[in-house]
Structure 1
Amino acid sequence: MSADTQSTLENLEKILVNEQGEFPLYKRYRALFSLKGLGSKEAIQIIIKATKKEKDSELFKHELAYCLGQLQNPEAIALLEDLVRDEDEFIMVRHEAAEALGAISDERSIQFLKTFIGGSCKELSETCYLAAKKIEYNKETEIKHENLYGSVDPTPPANEELNVKQLRDILLDQNADLWERYRSMFRLRDIASKEAVLALCDALLQDKTSALFRHEICFVFGELQDKLTADALQKTLANTSEAPMVRHEAAEALGSIAESYVSSALKHYSEDPVAVVRESCIVALDMNEYQNSEEFQYAIIPN
């Protein structure tokens, strides 16, 4: 490792771990995605260390778990399992850790995940169901699903032969299996036509069955960065009866839309009484500023 690389890693670790509490949340996000982009063994170890030490922000801790899943390194499995089983841990962190296990897709995680299916926490139960099913799916097929966004998704997309109307029908069917609704969601994201995006908007606003499902639609909107989603996202963020995990994801998705008008909503809810919503708006404002700037890459740490 070169001296410059070592110095960069040390700087990123200092920001990420934030032992002295000197770095704002948006800068810690940028440091995290810098390390995710590096993806080296050393970078992963820094993210693992930060996850173990994080005490200040449940939002940031859940983002750390997310990145560990996306990096798909088995060294993170033990830590992620600890987070899932910790009943004192915030639900968003437990959910993200379970989803990360699905992303890593080690067959040894299947039975662990299945122990949480049907439990008292619906969001965790649903996440573990999807994660276990994804690992089983990966075990049974050699098909590799890649997408334009480079993300490791909780489920594969639905079959390509299904058209937008058929996918929309599955997506909006609140009695359909969650696995199938997720698969339709990701296929509609990949199609990304106006009709596909509006189907996703309808699902976000109409669903009454699963906060997990609605939060994933918001995440998909963050990937799409389509202004057609702005109205549905703003309505979701403004709905104080909605689950915090959904409102948080709506806020971050709004931040990814390169339109200056979304900043007013984000500024308003940056004082929300719910911490993960408030913090998400702060991070989203930084993302929105980046989207409307000439910065080359979000992950680069600003001076």
Structure 2
Amino acid sequence: MVNISESAIENIGKVLNNASRPMKERFRALFTLKNIGGEAAIKCISQCFGDESVLLKHELAYCLGQMQDKRAIPILRNVLEDKNQDPIVRHEAGEALGAIGDPNLRELLEKYQHDPAIEVAETCQIALQRLAWVAEDKSESLSQSRYASVDPAPPSSEGDIAKLSSTLMDENRPLFERYQAMFTLRNIGTTESINALGEGFKASSALFRHEVAFVFGQMQDERSVPFLIKTLEDTSEHEMVRHEAAEAMGSIATDECTEILKRYLNDPRPVVRESCEVALDMSEYENSPEFQYANTLCAVEA
């Protein structure tokens, strides 16, 4: 944990929890809190789950999972169990619990692995398999990717792109195994592996398709842009997939991405239009001399 005063953390939390602030500012505050870590940061993040923005609450859960602090478990449990929360938020809470990796979470995740919301059910199934993998392998560091993220599944030991592609698209295989193939293809990072990942947008699972978009955002590779544009422009696509495609385009930050994102700033789906706002801020950051995206600490101390 970074040594920062509690009052400074609370001031960052005020930015996060202020619904009148632009979404891009609230996102920067959230990721600043994630980077700081600790109990005070967790408290500030937890206070925001009553917000109206599904996108923001989804990111709150994601950040709590990435922090891997067991003190966040009661908060995430409550979100997962709250049927009034949007499935996109509940799914991310389930994934976050899997990222924390506490074996005591097995009973909770088993309870929701058949949830009526398919996104929640599939997420809890993957999280359960991650818990089993952690318990069996003890090599949790393997799921710490080169992209500084705690992934829902570790990479596969397979290195052949054709075999990985086959696993990726085999809908008879468990999602956990298909995710392993996905993260391996991400790590390979060649044109062939990127094209294989792009095929993942044809999968039947919206959860799976949204993870493909997330992976492209991590890679920040311009070769994935055509797949992402097609996904964002498909208004029949699930909003969780389109939102992730928008954020990925913000990370890649080409002129083409920026122009496409601007077109969807008034999308009828709040999750999509807010994602485009945040993505354009990310794009601006990527093309600027700014040292750090999560820079709210500097702002509140200025």
Scaled by the length of structure 2, the TM-score of the pair is: 0.93
In 2, Cα distance between equivalents of 1:10 and 1:294: 28
In 1, Cα distance between equivalents of 2:260 and 2:240: 17
Counterpart AA for 1:255: G
Counterpart AA for 1:192: G
CA apart distance, 1:3: 11
Partner-residue secondary structure (3-state), 2:112: coil
2:107 to 106, 111, 120: 111
**Alignment match, 1:13:** 13
Deviations 1:71-117 (A, max 9, x none): 11111111211111111110110000000110111111111111122
In 1, Cα distance between equivalents of 2:253 and 2:261: 13
Matches within 5 A, 1:128-143: 128-143=124-139
**Alignment match, 1:76:** 72
Point out where structure 2 has 5 or more consecutive residues left out of the alignment. Answer: none
Partner-residue secondary structure (3-state), 1:14: helix
**Alignment match, 2:155:** 157
Please state if 1:95 is matched with 2:78. Answer: no
Q: Is the 8 A contact 2:101 2:130 kept in 1?
A: yes
Q: Is the 8 A contact 2:126 2:176 kept in 1?
A: yes
**Alignment match, 1:265:** 260
In 2, Cα distance between equivalents of 1:92 and 1:289: 27
Deviations 1:152-209 (A, max 9, x none): 11111111x43111111111223322111100001111111221111101222x22x2
In 2, Cα distance between equivalents of 1:281 and 1:195: 28
In 1, Cα distance between equivalents of 2:235 and 2:242: 8
Deviations 1:194-248 (A, max 9, x none): 21111101222x22x2000000011111100011111110100111111111011
RMSD: 1.8
In 2, Cα distance between equivalents of 1:9 and 1:135: 32
Point out where structure 1 has 5 or more consecutive residues left out of the alignment. Answer: none
Matches within 5 A, 1:1-303: 5-18=5-18, 21-51=19-49, 54-143=50-139, 144-145=141-142, 146-159=144-157, 161-204=158-201, 206-207=202-203, 209-301=204-296
CA apart distance, 1:44: 2.1
In 2, Cα distance between equivalents of 1:222 and 1:8: 30
Count the aligned residue pairs: 296
Counterpart AA for 1:292: N
